[in-house]
Amino acid sequence: MERTERVVLGIDVGGTKVCVGVVTEDGRVLDKQRYPHRNVPVEEWAKELMVQTDALLERCGMRERIAAVGIGCRGNVDHRSQRLMATTIMKLSPEYDFCQALRSRYGRPVYIDNDVKAVACAEIVFGAGRECGDFVCYNVGTGIAVASVAEGRLIRGRDNNAGEISTDYLPGGRDGEAAPGLEAAASGRGIEDQARALLDAYPDSALAAQGEKLTARDVLVACREGDPLAGKVVRRALYMLAASAVNIRHLLNPERFVFVGGVISDPWFFEQLQGTVEELSRAVGERWDAVLQVSELGIEHAGLLGAASVAFYNMKLNEQNHKEVE
């Protein structure tokens, strides 16, 4: 008898939009629906989510085939109770568990994780994890965080906060100045803030005309064109990211680093990061031997695949745990 391919419902909760989609276990998106995210009380938020989800499932006729629901969401998640404990993108209530509400409505298991660990799940299920079991998923976007995988399983820590490295302190830097925290120096928002803070000191910078509209992309472009202000900011960001990667390698010994996020998607910036990592490794008498790569999952469906993979990953983990008990 031919096995029916499993499908799950993925819910990618972003700061500006929510994407709900039906995803197969080989990574095909059968149908999806996007709608604007609103920062409202969680009960109201969940009600709108279920209206949108019902419309999607009715349209594609997949309601009965859904094996589970996976959610990727910014915030702090209790992976044991599968509950979102804190977030900046909706107003939570201790009396209302929206994951439990979804379980009741759709009669399926519901799994939730934070957005970076969701992307790591996508790498485990669909990406780098199919080739190696020990890797670090390193997000360099608006913020910075990592998710580490050992022997095919997420490293979570006591409170599921393993990899929350945004405030890591890496003193010094190439300009010999005290450096801010990692995210403050090397994330997209950090690069923008650092550049704006230096505009008065560099009145002739090409970035001066951008003012408050200045973006991290503007800074990277200006750096390539030789702008001194941009060069100072980008050198610091590269140093901080490279030092972080070297330290993570010492601690976890991963086979590879898989980078995701808008900042790292710039090919020139990633090439510079590779060179800086190798340079810092030589400076401490080592040879860098871990693979550095940008995720091959692409950006079109990355968030949705991550959310769906939270379900696929947890279903597989439950199956493995069940076999071990037997």
Task: Report the run of H or E that residue 73 belongs to, with start and end.
Answer: strand 66-73
* Residue 56: closest CA among 20, 110, 8, 108: 20
Q: Which of 71, 54, 60 lies closest to 29 in space, CA to CA? A: 60
CATH number for the domain formed by residue range(s) 7-126+299-325: 3.30.420.40
Pairing between β-strand 76-78 and β-strand 17-24 as defined by DSSP bridges: unpaired
**Alpha carbons 84 and 235: distance in angstroms, whole number:** 37
Sequence-ordered list of residues with C-beta below 8 angstroms from that of 86, at least 6 positions apart, any chain: 75, 76, 92
pLDDT for 325 equals 62
List, run by run, the mean pLDDT of 10-residue segments along the chain (326 residues): 78 94 95 95 97 96 95 94 93 95 97 96 95 96 94 94 85 59 93 95 94 93 97 95 96 96 94 97 95 89 94 92 66
Measured CA to CA, the distance from residue 117 to residue 255 in angstroms comes to: 18
Residue 1: the pLDDT is: 35
What are the beta bridge partners of residue 136? 148, 257
List the beta bridge partners of residue 260.
139
Nearest to 63 by CA among 107, 19, 11, 109: 107
Residue with tokens 């995720």: 295
Number of alpha carbons in the 13 Å side-chain half-sphere of residue 52 = 24
pLDDT at 28: 94
Name the pairing type of β-strands 135-140 and 144-150. antiparallel
Burial of 166 (0-12, 13-18, 19+ CB in 10 A): middle
What residue spans define the domains of the chain? 7-126+299-325, 132-294
For position 15, what pLDDT does the model report?
85
DSSP H helices in the chain: 42-60, 98-106, 115-126, 182-186, 188-197, 216-224, 228-252, 267-283, 302-325
Taking CA 278 as the corner, what is the angle to CA 275 and CA 281, rounded to the nearest 5 degrees? 150
Determine the pLDDT at residue 146.
96
Query: Coil, helix or strand for 263?
Result: coil
289: β partners? none
Position 257 scores a pLDDT of: 98
Tokens of 274: 């590779």
| CATH homologous superfamily, domain 132-294 | ATPase, nucleotide binding domain (3.30.420.40)
Report DSSP state, residue 170: -
CA atoms within 13 A on the CB side of 156: 13
Block residue for tokens 């702008």? 227
Are the C-beta atoms of residues 9 and 32 closer than 8 Å to each other? no
Tell me whether domains 7-126+299-325 and 132-294 share a fold. Answer: yes
Task: Give residues with Cβ within 8 angstroms of 60, minimum separation 6.
Answer: 22, 30, 31
Residue with structure tokens 């393993």? 162
